[in-house]
Chain A
Amino acid sequence: MKLNINGKIHNVELPSDTPILWTLRDELGMTGTKFGCGKSLCGACTVMLDGTPIRSCITPISFAENKTITTIEAISEQKVGQAVQKAWLDIAVPQCGYCQSGQIVSATALLRDNPKPSDEDIDNFMSGNICRCGTYTRIREAIKVAANNLETAHD
């Protein structure tokens, strides 16, 4: 099967029900996308499929045929993703950092579609991503900082 991942075509020979997560991690060695629950409950595995954030732990590679997958490794190629990463560092969001790949991909998708999210928008969009270290208040702040920086860049 051919998979378009971060703009590059990969040939993978795996059963079509293999989740994107394990294809990325074990088959292709792209370990930025994390395993957290395997049941779409925690968001650690979030990647974009044709720009839409999805949980790669339950999404089989058959769904990704003729679509494009974007992972944390390439999120900086998007202007919004880059702003999110910068805000994450400026606010010092990460503690252990393990869930932050998924958080950053989710936050990037949020800001791309909703450049000025309210607290409620942020909470609703981001509540699928668990952070056991408890960085939520900083994530909320960093999303707002990224939003402001992006807006300023537009002016």
Chain B
Amino acid sequence: MIKSNAELAEQISNISRRNFIRGFALTGLVLAVGMPSVLWAEDIKYGRNGMPEGWVDNPLVFVSIAEDGTVTIVAHRAEMGQGVRTSLPMVVADEMEADWSRVKVIQAYGDEKTFGNQNTDGSRSMRHFFMPMRNVGASARMMLETAAAAVWQVPVSEVKAMFHEVHHQATGRVLSYGEIAQAAAKLAVPERADLVLKTPDAFRYIGKQSNKLIDGADIVVGKAEYGIDVRRDGMVYAVVAHPPAYGDTLLSFDDSETLKVPGVIKTLTLESTPAPAFFNPLGGVVVVATNTWAAIKGREKLKITWKSGPNAGYVSETFRKEMEKSANSQGGKVLRSLGDAYKTLATTENKIHAEYYIPHLAQAPMEPPVATAQYNNDSCELWAPIQNPQAAVDTVAKWLDFKPEQVKVNVTLLGGGFGRKSKPDYMVEAALVSKALGGKPVKLTWTREDDIQHSYFHTVSLEHLEAAFDDKKRASVWLHRTVAPSISSTFDTSAINQMPMEAGMGVVNVPFDVPNIQLENPAAIAHTRIGWYRSVSNIPHAFAVQSFIAEMADHVGRDHKEFLIELIGKDRKIDPRTLRDEWNYGESPEEYPLDTSRMRNVIEHVTQKANWGKKMAAKTGQGLATHYSFTSYVATVVEVAIVGDGQVTVPRIDIAIDCGPQVNPERIRSQIEGACVMGVSLALFSEISFTNGVADQNNFDGYEVARMNNGPMIINVHIMPTTDYDAPLGGVGEPGMPPIAPALCNAIFAATGKRIRSLPVRYQLES
């Protein structure tokens, strides 16, 4: 039976409620998907209040001060390169008037009841925790002031915390934080309503440019500890031979040659679990050895017979044709309808249409999935690079038949995440192997081949667009049919339509001022595990939408920028509900409307900085794109130069972001730079395709990503200034990605006259 999105979402949220009651809440993983279903219910909570376990701002949870004055601040969100271990503790340090050079940061283990939501995805760490972390710092500062005032027996209004000391200005007396820490910790935590936050002019670190990375010094000497670096006494090493296609199962295996490999200790099996995948392990044959290399060699010697499963017939070329068929036929779930697009199309001569294809992608963080586990009879401790530690606790507990409190998940640094490490399947594997070894600590490493062949892949998409024009060359019809297997298929095998979360990533929530709009979503069935990948469905949607707008402008012979701004229409704040956006990145539609003036501003700003329309040499060109995602507004101008036999080089990218208040501008800049490079990767090089259910690529030779010599040469990040720190914050980690590929392909069109409608570009320009 085919379920509607609403039914599916309802079902998912019911699952989450049921599990919650049963005590192994899969909240992190299921609610993240199921949230849209309950969004418009009457008691809906938004933003940080809508996340599982919400938020905590108790200073006693996050801050401790040693007698020597060392301030230790807990980072409860996972560090994967976005700088969150620096930026969030820095907010605390600023509000509490701590000296950053005397701050130590420790990482929280997975425990959302204690720390608040820890699911580090959705570009929302700062968006959701700026305020709570300010509260933490302000509470700590006020407690220190109260303690000092008590020592001096003066009114607290006469004392002031300043840079790691409390001062009594009238008498010049000073107490260091270390001296009064113990007394302060015994005081009652101030009521939230009584907190006095700093005014922005008093910020020491927030919004400043030169904040040192908390882990920088360790990173450059090789001392920073990632998941793959964890070592435990008596530890053994494991790799897994996973089923080649998702859904294949183990029939039999012969390990006689494996066991002859020096260092191999033993083999064991992990059962495969039927779809839906959730965060369950894939199953397969485990090789345990005295080091990783011996385990890898042992795995090579396995002779395994697999039983083909339901996805063994998945062939990307065939699937693309099926998607094209769906995308070309009227129908599918209607996401939004305004006026009468079909009638207008039928009666208009001046119209165009185009189709865009965006393949599967693998996140491929430089550190592959890896986990260390140590099982005991009544507990299990794990160490891993994990974006969603509570989901890891819950999923491992379920597999071991433990209560969540019997599982401890220590979060290491992540050697990249990009969405892959939101899914703790590899941690379950490690826990099960340690259990099978009678509690021996085991480090289970995915090789790059495992990572690229068995990811939770970014979906594959076919986007069909049509437009008609009135006699003033303005758009009279906008029709977008989006076809892509949904992430919800990973949690429900009957899911065939995009969730509100996916449709709300650039299909429904486009602000175009067009009288006839038709947005449709024909069904698509998933044949592999589909998951989050940095900026998720914004990638295909922005690629299609922003490429098509350039095609429209070209068709009617108008400047792309002028046409784009006209299409967006006059400055206005659009309630996302009126766009049938039932998700709005989980944020309040009142607090976070779609503000077209901010979109126009980033376009104006970046085109000015990039000198849009300047005269370009032969075989070079500029391309423009804009996209709203994760509540931030981005526009970019990409320059390309075609060299040699059709190779695309990217001499320069200008990119403007309006993310509201900026807490750590230097890390915003670095995130946007990184998004440009990853955007170039997927535009030019990266593709996962399937033959008979198996990914055709398995390492960085087949699955290519940008390198120093073919990535962007110059990236100019322009951050829209703001001084209002009460304004809602926007996301940063993901919003830079979506507009890169369309801007790059628009630039290729400007340089060559060739329109790229299928990613990656790769050899398409070669003659």
State the A residues within 8 Å of B (CB): 14-15, 18-19, 21-22, 25-27, 29-39, 41-42, 44, 71-73, 75-76, 85, 88-89, 92, 94-101, 104, 119, 122-124, 126-140
Q: Is the CB of B415 within 8 A of A92?
A: no
With contacts A133-B416, A135-B674 known, is A92 near B231, CB below 8 A? no
Tell me the complex Cα distance, A129–B215, Å.
Answer: 21
Name A97's contact: one of B219, B291, B296, B701 (CB within 8 Å): B219
Q: Are A137 and B712 in contact (CB under 8 A)?
A: yes
Stretch at the interface among B153-161, B221-229, B245-253: B221-229
Report chain B residues within 8 Å CB of A39: 448, 699-701
Which residue on chain B has the smallest CB distance to residue A44? B366
Question: Does B706 contact A134, Cβ atoms closer than 8 Å?
Answer: yes
Q: Across the two chains, which residue of chain B brings its CB closest to A35?
A: B228
Name the CB-closest residue of A to B716.
A137
Distance in Å: Cβ of B677 to nearest Cβ of chain A: 3
B224, A97: Cβ atoms closer than 8 Å: yes
Which 5 pairs between the two chains have the least Cβ-Cβ distance? A32-B222, A134-B677, A98-B415, A96-B81, A95-B81
Residue in chain A with minimal CB distance to B701 = A41
A19 to chain B, nearest CB (A): 6
Contacts of A71 in B (CB 8 A): 222
User: Which chain A residues lie closer than 8 Å to B217 at the CB level?
Assistant: 89
On whether the beta carbons of B366 and A130 are closer than 8 Å, the reply is yes
> Residues of A contacting B263 with CB < 8 Å?
14-15
Q: What are some 15 contacts across the A-B interface (CB < 8 A)?
A: A22-B292, A22-B293, A32-B221, A35-B228, A73-B223, A95-B671, A95-B674, A96-B416, A97-B81, A99-B415, A123-B709, A131-B366, A132-B366, A134-B674, A136-B712
Cα-based distance from A63 to B296 in the complex (angstroms)? 20
Nearest-neighbour CB distance to chain B for A55, whole angstroms, equals 12
Q: A38-B448, A95-B674, A123-B708 are in contact. Are A72 and B222 (CB under 8 A)?
A: yes
Q: Which of B658-673 contact A (CB under 8 A)?
A: 666, 670-671, 673
Of B79, B413, B707, chain A has the most CB atoms within 10 Å of the CB of B707
Q: B705 and A135: CB pair below 8 A?
A: no
Chain A residues near B711 (CB-CB < 8 A)? 134, 136-137
Q: Which residues of B contact A30 (CB under 8 A)?
A: 222
Q: Which residues of B contact A124 (CB under 8 A)?
A: 709
Q: Are B262 and A127 in contact (CB under 8 A)?
A: no
The verdict on B354 contacting chain A, using a C-beta distance below 8 Å, is: no
- Cβ–Cβ contact B445 & A35, under 8 A: yes
B675 lies within 8 A of A134 (CB): yes
Q: Are A139 and B678 in contact (CB under 8 A)?
A: no
How many chain B residues touch A (Cβ–Cβ < 8 Å)? 68
CB-defined contacts of A99 to chain B, threshold 8 Å? 366, 415
Nearest residue, chain B, Cβ from A105: B222
- With A97-B219, A134-B673 in contact, is A34–B262 under 8 Å at CB? no
Within the assembled complex, what's the spacing in Å between the Cα atoms of A138 and B226?
22
Given A18-B293, A136-B677: A92 and B666 interface contact (C-beta under 8 Å) = yes
Distance A36 CA – B707 CA, assembled complex (angstroms)? 14
Say whether B708 contacts A94, CB under 8 Å: no
Say which residue of B215, B216, B291 sits within 8 Å of A26 (CB atoms): B291
Using a Cβ cutoff of 8 Å, how many contacts connect chains A and B? 190
The answer to whether A38 and B447 touch across the interface, beta carbons within 8 angstroms, is yes
Query: Is there contact, CB below 8 Å, between A96 and B700?
Result: no
- Besides A15-B262, A73-B221, A126-B708, 19 more A-B contacts (Cβ < 8 Å) are A22-B292, A30-B222, A31-B229, A35-B445, A39-B448, A41-B448, A71-B222, A89-B212, A97-B413, A98-B365, A98-B413, A133-B81, A134-B673, A136-B707, A136-B708, A137-B714, A138-B670, A139-B708, A140-B708
Among B80, B81, B673, the residue within 8 A (CB) of A138 is: B673
Interface residues of B (CB under 8 A from A): 79-83, 212-213, 215-217, 219-226, 228-229, 231, 237, 262-263, 290-294, 296, 364-368, 413-418, 445, 447-449, 666, 670-671, 673-678, 699-701, 705-715
Cα(A18)–Cα(B415), bound, Å: 24
- A contact residues around B445 at 8 Å (CB): 35
Determine if A94 and B213 form an interchain contact, defined as CB atoms under 8 angstroms apart.
yes
Residue numbers in A under 8 Å from B699 (CB-CB): 37-39, 41
- Contacting residues, chain B, for A119 (C-beta < 8 A): 713
Q: With A and B bound together, what is the CA distance between A40 and B715 in angstroms?
A: 28
A contact residues around B414 at 8 Å (CB): 96
Which A residues touch B291, using CB under 8 A?
14, 18, 22, 26-27
Cross-chain contact B220 with A37 (CB below 8 angstroms): no
Contacts A31-B222, A38-B447, A89-B220; A25 near B292 (Cβ below 8 A): yes
Q: Once the chains are docked, how many angstroms separate the CA of A128 from the CA of B215? A: 25
In the complex, are the beta carbons of B365 and A132 less than 8 A apart?
yes
**Chain B residue at minimal CB-CB distance from A102:** B366
Q: Tell me, in angstroms, the Cα distance from A41 to B292 when the chains sit together.
A: 19
Residues of the A chain whose Cβ atoms lie less than 8 Å from the Cβ of B296: 38
A36 touches B366 (CB 8 A): yes
Q: Is A26 a contact of B448 with CB atoms below 8 Å?
A: no
CB closest chain-B residue, reference A126: B708
Choose from B228, B292, B701, B712 the contact partner of A34 (Cβ within 8 Å).
B228
In the complex, which residue of chain A has the Cβ closest to the Cβ of B227? A98
Q: How far is the CA of A99 from the CA of B220 in the complex (A)?
A: 10
Contacts of A94 in B (CB 8 A): 81, 213, 215-216, 219-220
Cross-chain contact B220 with A88 (CB below 8 angstroms): yes
Could you say which residues of chain A place their CB within 8 Å of the CB of B365? 96, 98, 132
Chain B residues with CB below 8 A from A19, complex form: 293
Given the known inter-chain contacts A18-B293, A71-B222, A134-B675, please indicate yes or no for A96 contacting B709, CB distance below 8 A.
no
